[in-house]
């Protein structure tokens, strides 16, 4: 397994660029995960302090010791850490920017959720959207964008399945078009406060095929 790209590293913190298709942590039926790769790569255990879905690429904060894991987890939980994502979606949202507050979960487990979005570009029935999380529920962005008729391309759980099949056939778009592209930390950690990445290769290819010109 290839090493995970590292955006920043010191004795307490790693900031990595997680590839699409690899879960962050292990579990039943999982043979490869980010924590195991990083443990081999760095020679010591690591502690992810927030989640990215298996199929979501992008920036992930990882602590290298329990004390920093506790500090970063508190910062993430208190909303002092800003997380922004970029998605390529079918359709166009009702407004150029807005806030989606649909609760996320099933039955009694439904919890408040908040996603702020901004339309970056629209081309021929597709949208390039930026999302900022106010909460961190499982699959939140995927559920919220689907709820406003802008399902993320290649989303095999909440997406437009006939469209997914069509773009797979016509353009070989197979991977979820969602990435964590920016993270902003509060002062006090002794590291750069802002990290950003361009679209990962599978999203850059999709954007080019569909005619977007992301800046």
Map tokens 């391309």 to a residue. 153
Residues catalogued as catalytic: 53
CA distance 38 to 118: 33
Q: Which domains does the chain carry?
A: 83-177 (3.30.2350.10)
Q: State the DSSP string of the chain.
A: -PPPPEEEE-SSEEEEEEPTT--SS--TT----HHHHHHHHHSS--EE-S---TT-EEEEEEESSHHHHHHHHHHHHTT-SEEEEEEEEES--SSSEEEE---BSSGGG-B---EEEEEEEEETTEEEEEEEESS--TTHHHHHHHHTT-PBTT-TTTS-HHHHHHHHHHH---S--EEEEEEEPPTTSSS-SEEE-PPPHHHHHHHHHHT----
Question: Residue-wise pLDDT tens for the chain (215 aa)?
Answer: 678 999 999 999 999 999 999 999 877 777 789 999 999 999 999 999 998 999 999 999 999 999 999 999 999 888 889 999 999 999 999 899 999 999 998 888 899 999 999 999 999 999 999 999 998 888 999 999 999 999 999 999 999 999 999 999 999 999 999 999 999 999 988 889 999 999 999 999 999 999 998 66
pTM of the model: 0.93
Give 141's contacts (C-beta < 8 A, 6+ positions apart): 85, 87, 115, 131, 133, 152, 178
């Amino acid at each position: 397994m290839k090493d995970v790209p590292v955006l920043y590293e010191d004795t307490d913190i790693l900031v990595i660029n997680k590839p699409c298709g690899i879960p962050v942590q292990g579990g039943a039926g999982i043979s490869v995960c980010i924590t195991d790769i990083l443990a081999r790569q760095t020679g010591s255990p690591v502690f992810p302090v927030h989640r990215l879905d298996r199929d979501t690429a992008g920036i992930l904060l990882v602590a290298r010791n329990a004390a920093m894991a506790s500090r970063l987890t508190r910062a993430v939980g208190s909303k002092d850490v800003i997380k922004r994502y970029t998605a390529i979606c079918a359709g166009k949202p009702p407004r150029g920017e807005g806030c989606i507050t649909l609760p996320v979960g099933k039955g009694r487990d439904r919890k408040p959720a908040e996603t702020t979005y901004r339309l970056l570009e629209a081309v021929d029935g597709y949208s390039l959207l930026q999302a900022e999380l106010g909460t961190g529920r499982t699959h939140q962005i995927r559920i919220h964008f689907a709820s406003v008729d802008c399902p993320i391309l290649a989303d095999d759980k909440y997406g437009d399945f006939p469209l997914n099949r069509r773009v797979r056939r016509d353009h070989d778009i197979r991977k979820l078009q969602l990435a964590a592209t920016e993270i902003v930390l509060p002062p006090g950690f002794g590291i750069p406060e802002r990290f950003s990445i361009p679209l990962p290769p599978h999203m850059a290819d999709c954007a080019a095929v569909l005619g977007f010109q992301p800046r």
